[in-house]
Amino acid sequence: MTSTSADVPALWAVRRSSTGTRISSAALLAAGVALFAVPFGFAAGVVQQLTTLFIFMILAVMWNALAGYGGQVSVGQQAYLGSGAYATIFLTQHAVPPYLAVLLAAVASALLAVLLAPLLLRLRGGQFAVGSWVVAETLALLVALDADLGGGTGISLRGLNAYAPNLRRAYTYWITLAILLLLLGLVVYLLRHRMGVALQAIRDDEDAAAALGVRTGPLKFGLFVLAGFGCGAAGALTLANTLFIQPQSIFGVQWTAYMIFMVLVGGIGTFEGPILGAILFFLLQQQFAQYGAGYLIGLGIIAAGFALYLPRGLWSLPADRLHLRLLPVGYHLQRRVARPSARRSDV
């Protein structure tokens, strides 16, 4: 009795989706749609806090896309937050309706990224990180010198005073949620497309990726502009949510520190991790932000602890132990169920 290789079934198969990911994807989509009803059933304070949480999620997802998938570790993303916020002020001063100004400000931040990309994308590693920070500081100084934008003392978004407070909070909430869902959808599309694989190859070794035929320049450019758009939208929405900004605060490097914390604690290079990190950061901020410097020191200690003892973040715990994946992004190996096969005998 002998058997041939055709009688032996493959034990492993490469899969992108499964029944579990399809169910969880549908559930997450339904939850995202259901969240639009929150302003109808919850108090104004809850609506405003959820808006803040969604802004944190936008920032975490964008920084993770930039650094976790593309390897572009920026400490200057506050440049686009500030540009988005102040572009909103500038547009409303020129008779643009405030919520239209918010959307146009996000586009303006993307255009700023287009202008800065030829300069910054020439840099790598620490040079890129420092260069992006220098750009943010330069923009902060320029805005502080502009009296029409409030100078160093800050400025209010007066255009939203035309809306009743509850209506204003609801509109800001809906726009924030819509932009968050849009950006999440774009990231899912990116990860399911071959561009996502190419970007991760660039992250791991840009020179090797280029040698294999990956067009590193256009891919890095596109990701850089996407992150500029997302962070610009977050800055404009922060202004719409708080109604007041100052150059020192909106251009402050603490914003990038928050992004790094959320991504590092949640799980860099994963889709779900930054969202989980944003929720944790939001809860910590709600409980301990009043402690000032002690709060920031605590965040640093927590981030250092995760870097040392759980470098893949919180999401690695359920992902590794339960093999949990919420969305069909990337590829994974799945063990096939072996089926008995009839053996042939050679006479």
The string of DSSP codes covering 158-186 is: GGGGGS-HHHHHHHHHHHHHHHHHHHHHH
Q: 281: closest CA among 264, 304, 305?
A: 264
What's the pTM?
0.88
Compute how many other C-beta atoms are within 10 angstroms of the C-beta atom of residue 333: 9
pLDDT tens, residue order, the chain (347 aa)? 444 444 444 566 556 666 666 787 788 888 888 999 999 989 989 999 999 999 999 999 999 999 988 888 999 999 999 999 999 999 999 999 999 999 999 999 999 999 999 999 998 888 999 999 999 999 999 999 999 898 888 899 988 888 999 999 999 999 999 999 999 999 988 888 788 788 888 888 788 888 878 888 888 999 999 999 999 999 999 999 999 999 989 999 899 999 999 999 999 988 889 999 999 999 999 888 888 778 888 888 988 898 888 888 898 888 777 677 777 676 655 665 555 544 444 44
Give the ranges where 35-97 is alpha helix by DSSP (H): 38-41, 44-63, 78-93
Tell me how far apart the alpha carbons of residues 328 and 294 are, in angstroms, rounded to a whole number: 40
Tell me how far apart the alpha carbons of residues 187 and 66 are, in angstroms, rounded to a whole number: 11
What are the angstrom distances between the C-alpha of 22 and each of 26, 178, 337?
6, 22, 20
| Largest interatomic CA distance in the chain | 96
Spell out the domains of the chain, with CATH numbers in brackets: 5-335 (1.10.3470)
Q: How many residues does the chain have?
A: 347
Question: How many angstroms from the chain centroid is the CA of residue 69?
Answer: 11
- In the numeric block, the tokens 């890129």 are attached to 128
Helices (H) and strands (E) in the chain, counts: 15, 4
